[in-house]
Structure 1
């Protein structure tokens, strides 16, 4: 029986001989521990039984028990049956036990296993253990000692875990010993700074070692395999997979570059910098192909593995420009369009470091010794270069690292190019949008205004929010705010068309509900026009056009504001007494839906009331609905502030995040009123004789206002307009003068028939009146009302 014994660092195989004593009849009288180990039977189970029962097939070496040996020694082979039933081939050696007369009274039989149990075979197993190329070890559960082969002792693989007391490995060993099941343990061992790799990885197989006789776990065997290459490959693959998730998360050029630097440090390099062409940061299209000769690049991002804050190794600040000479690694990578691996042994590398004062100082302090420069290229266009560096005691880069850096740079280049193209499209859309929005609102007698417009800060694109303040006749003012559904250049273009349409319709003094009705028809026509555009045309945009709009007209004479809404959120009003409430509107459908009427709401406002018009980007967000947003708007509006501009800023700060997800338009309007000393009105009968009296009353009023110089023109205008009202209109007839920044004369009657300007022929008796009014004034027009029409004429005030 062969038993593996260890002690004091020495390992070897010894022969543990099984001994059995028999009487003359072949009955077992003695059973040694070696016999138990060989066949598994304990002494009480065998002593007293016939030895022949242990033979496989009951074959005997002789005719009978006594004839088995006679009085001489005997040797031979036999097949024995193990306690669990399997066959055991052995060599038997029998020695007779003689009494004093020389007659045999019993036998002593010793047993040695055949073939594999030979000493040479056992020594061969020992040699295989000692000379194995992988680290092998055994842990004894009895003594707690470890036994290593030469490879394990040299590489300190399995044995090091126990020697260093690594709790994870020791727990694994104890679990194998207790549960009797094989398992696997992986360990990552940091390497010294002088080693060619940063970490050494090991996969350790553990299995229970059992006593063949009892099945008891007496130890744990281990085999350690160096998996450093596989571990490095998995790390590279994991880094690439993470790059697909972490790089290019936003449509921001500098943010995408910074994501690459953050990902690569410290897992690939100790320092990373990303430099881009200036045209890329502006969103422009760089020239296709590699960049030749010296190149000027702007630092977009960098990162360092150094502890603390900042990037101390950087020779260029963020946003700074550096010119790379042709022999430098970045310029070589850009010129060749391929990554460059260089280091301290490259003369061009040393020349590059020495040619820049700040870079030389950083190298002396930190010791840059291995550098990879990888061009950022997408769609055949060079965007910039990424530089990966290892410093100090870190091992130099290997060719596999260069492949990884090239793959990371390629993925980053796609993200940078997408961000660049988005920047270009966004800049174009913002330029278009700002050209369509009012640059500077005209000063109005009726209201004081302040506004803010913020484009969306996310990747949703520029929207179609707009606002406007439209001067109307009679010192009235039209207030507009709207929002086109969707984002992008098409939304901005649609917004511009709608804003132009609103101004055109407002110029003919349409009431708010009628204006929205005409605007609704326009949007419906725009949607039908888009249906004729082929899907493959470059300017095709899927989906129907829709928009919301709120139009209000404020009259400073009556202090009445008339509202009509096409699916737009209501404005909030701050009254002079500090009360804040939402204007209760009856909103109509979105523009473009059609089929439903729009209704007006009239609200008399005290002088000094503050109206807040806005789009949904101000009040609606992911974490709040429209109702909560309107409540916050009212709360922000109620806080006292010194001016409208400050109020605008306070509202935006209270309701918006740093980067709004949608466009925001905010229009604040403080109402004014024209008092009695600025307005004079008369009711006139339908009698031609009253024309002279009307001229006289107007002349007297102008004298009161100190506007005698305007009397001549005003009397001519009043004479013509009152005469036309009496001749062609219907009662009641009214005359009104308004003194503001201009002098306005209005004549109203109950007829809806509007006059038309025409040139009178030579022998015509009439038709010259309106032509004369148009020549003498700076503007005239007609507006309809529920009670008829009003013809107005406006002239500048006399100088002084």
Structure 2
């Protein structure tokens, strides 16, 4: 039997069978007008198991199930010969001896060479056909109705098909996609990165999940958006890549919420850190620098902190800002190593701004001044030095915030936060954070201002109450020192005095009011005045102490004080020593031997309910009496006995004068800044005057 050439089969009939046939193994069989098989393709052999030589020339109805109603098969074939085509279900008989349910489609095709009619029959496993049709329907429904953007691309990453959701996301119809690549149709997204991920999927076969697409599309050209994309390789039956399926979900809202939550956590952490790291001392410059350091780089790329020049100078801040502002730069980060830092004025520089300048406006309005999109034309007219904004623009500054330093209703200055990184302008939350950091620093700066003022007041009060001129009686040579503490808190109540008495005697006194600040200095002044008045009454030393204690108890807020009094007669070398909780005096004899005087320590004045005792002592001519406060011998981490031993060791060293001995004691025992204020009084007793 002659086999009809396959080229004679009308391909249009195959297309009419339905698009799902392309995904299903389909046998193609051709018969003559009398129903005898003239064409048997390999798919038919695969489907029913018969090779061509076993079926060619046989009637097609012979392939049906032996027990089946063959009239149905014949009627389908006859209908196909005489009509336009039929579809139906038949039960065929497999060569291996089992039934196989087939779904067939048959249509007449004119024979080109011999006349008559050829019937073209398509056959497929009915179970597979139903499965394919079902999955195809699901796929088509998903593709057309899904809110997820879906695209099918070929191995060149050209679009083959996109669904309506993706058309809406991209703002382009399907026709604008087909045959083109992503980089060609969406230049304002990170298309190159996405195509790189797609190529990796095509090469490896491993799907990619949650690949981010960012940027703008024609659907929303004025706003940046974020999409989450997933890519899966499409393969043929042999596992070879034939394309790619991509799905995209718009996650802009979720991403923004996540970013805001992360920013909120970072901001809270920064505020917590600021509460620990800003204001560690009562030093104005250090507090300003702490603010600048903590804001870089978490909030800004560069920060400057400027305070009113009058604040640094210690003057009156005045009623407000009139006609501009003069500011002193006291904080800057980074201080070096940054191009922006080189443009900004250095530390210690005084800047003058007219009333229209942003600084002056931020201070006058007491609100942050925000420049979201830095532009030279916007800022130059208000700036005193127009070249500076241009240089800042050259270094990439694109946004900045000036936050006033406001504390207790007083404007102290401003902190400026500059941004150069491509992360967009300062957001509303970031401006609020800048304001919060500036407010915290402002309170610390104001505390430093108030403490400096109190320190200066206490220092003036204390120095005014120390003896301005000591005139000891003949036979006594005097040297003395007062060294204030390095910390502004440590201005306290240390004092000393030499009070001339009857008969050529003198009272050497030294004391230390416990506490610091103006209150301690005021009590010290009260005690020193009382000592001078009481000493002239020629009271016994212990009686003098009882009166001083009564004076302390009369205070509205009782305080304690240590006190040491030595009444010395230079003519005889006789001394009477009374001690109230004060460090023991030291004696250096003419031969250079130094020792501490062993006298009862007593308790500080103000404790009450105790008796003071007096110790009598005879000094050889040329002896030194050394009186000092605890600031000379106390040091962090050092044992007090070791410090006292060190004191006597220094006293035993030869020195040319009492003044030199004072300097030697301070140099050896306090080589760095003092933690506490120090009073020192040295007297040389020369018998006979």
SS in 2 for 1:347: helix
Greater mean alpha carbon deviation, residues 499-508 or residues 647-656: 647-656
Deviations 1:524-551 (A, max 9, x none): 3x25xx2xxxxxxxxxx4xx32211011
Aligned to 2:351: 322
CA pair 429-114 structure 1, distance change in 2 beyond 3 A = farther
Q: Does 1:119 align with 2:149?
A: no
Aligned to 2:614: 600
User: How does the TM-score come out when normalised to structure 1?
Assistant: 0.55
Q: Please, which of 279, 299, 304 is the counterpart of residue 268 of structure 1? A: 299
Unaligned stretches of 5+ in structure 1?
Answer: 1-13, 18-67, 74-92, 134-147, 164-173, 175-183, 190-199, 206-220, 531-540, 676-739, 741-800
Aligned to 1:564: 578
Task: Give how far 1:398 is off.
Answer: 4.3
Deviations 1:480-500 (A, max 9, x none): 111122223222222111111
- Say whether the 8 Å CA contact 1:94–1:109 is kept in structure 2: no
CA pair 447-586 structure 1, distance change in 2 beyond 3 A = same
Q: Please, which of 237, 243, 246 is the counterpart of residue 277 of structure 2? A: 246
SS in 1 for 2:564: strand
Q: Please, which of 600, 604, 612 is the counterpart of residue 586 of structure 1? A: 600
SS in 1 for 2:342: coil
CA distance in 1, matches of 2:199, 2:268: 32
CA distance in 2, matches of 1:152, 1:356: 37
CA distance in 1, matches of 2:195, 2:493: 68
Unaligned stretches of 5+ in structure 2?
Answer: 1-21, 26-64, 71-88, 102-124, 152-164, 167-181, 201-205, 215-224, 231-246
Aligned to 1:453: 482
CA pair 659-320 structure 1, distance change in 2 beyond 3 A = same
CA pair 309-105 structure 1, distance change in 2 beyond 3 A = closer
Alignment of 1:345-744 (within 5 A): 345=375, 347=377, 349-353=379-383, 355=385, 359=388, 363=392, 366=395, 368-390=397-419, 396-458=425-487, 460-524=489-553, 526-527=554-555, 530=556, 541=557, 544-656=558-670, 658-667=672-681, 669-675=682-688
CA pair 282-575 structure 1, distance change in 2 beyond 3 A = same
CA distance in 2, matches of 1:306, 1:466: 46
Deviations 1:321-363 (A, max 9, x none): 2221122211121222222123642535223556367x47965
Aligned to 1:294: 324
Question: Aligned residue pairs: how many?
Answer: 517
CA pair 229-520 structure 1, distance change in 2 beyond 3 A = closer
CA distance in 2, matches of 1:362, 1:110: 76
- Say whether the 8 Å CA contact 1:546–1:590 is kept in structure 2: yes
CA distance in 2, matches of 1:202, 1:618: 71
User: How does the TM-score come out when normalised to structure 2?
Assistant: 0.63
Task: Give how far 1:446 is off.
Answer: 3.1
Task: Give how far 1:202 is off.
Answer: 12
Aligned to 1:237: 268
Cα RMSD of the aligned pairs, angstroms, is 4.7
- Say whether the 8 Å CA contact 1:303–1:311 is kept in structure 2: yes
SS in 1 for 2:438: helix
CA pair 630-124 structure 1, distance change in 2 beyond 3 A = farther
Task: Give how far 1:505 is off.
Answer: 2.0
CA pair 305-462 structure 1, distance change in 2 beyond 3 A = closer
Task: Give how far 1:201 is off.
Answer: 12
Deviations 1:127-159 (A, max 9, x none): 8584699xxxxxxxxxxxxxx9x9998495998
- Say whether the 8 Å CA contact 2:363–2:411 is kept in structure 1: yes
CA distance in 1, matches of 2:654, 2:229: 73
